[in-house]
């Protein structure tokens, strides 16, 4: 399964995974880092883990860019 397939499953609320991305249908993960979530109204939100946001790794940044295409919107990473 390709990364875009994992993201598509996330947008449909279905589980899916490959070697470095996964979803339980509600949350989206790059490795073990949650990069997306589903709001109560069903909107799919992706966190900005890219060079212009809270950069983690090049691969995670690519996952975010892939997810951003199908997500309803992007948000800043919440502060911990």
What residues have CB less than 8 Å from 52, skipping those under 6 apart? none
What's the pTM value of the predicted model, to 2 decimals? Answer: 0.93
Give tens-digit pLDDT for 34-56: 999 999 999 999 999 987 778 89
Where are the domains positioned within the chain?
3-75
- Using alpha carbons, select from 21, 19, 38 the residue that is nearest to residue 29: 21
7-24 average pLDDT score: 97
């Amino acid at each position: 399964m390709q990364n875009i397939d994992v993201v598509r499953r996330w947008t449909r609320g279905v589980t899916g995974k490959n070697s470095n991305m996964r979803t339980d249908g509600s949350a989206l993960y790059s490795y073990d880092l949650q990069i997306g979530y589903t709001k109560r109204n069903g909107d799919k939100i992706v966190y900005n883990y890219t060079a212009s946001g809270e950069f983690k790794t090049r691969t995670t940044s690519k996952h975010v860019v892939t997810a951003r295409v199908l997500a309803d919107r992007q948000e800043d990473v919440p502060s911990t």
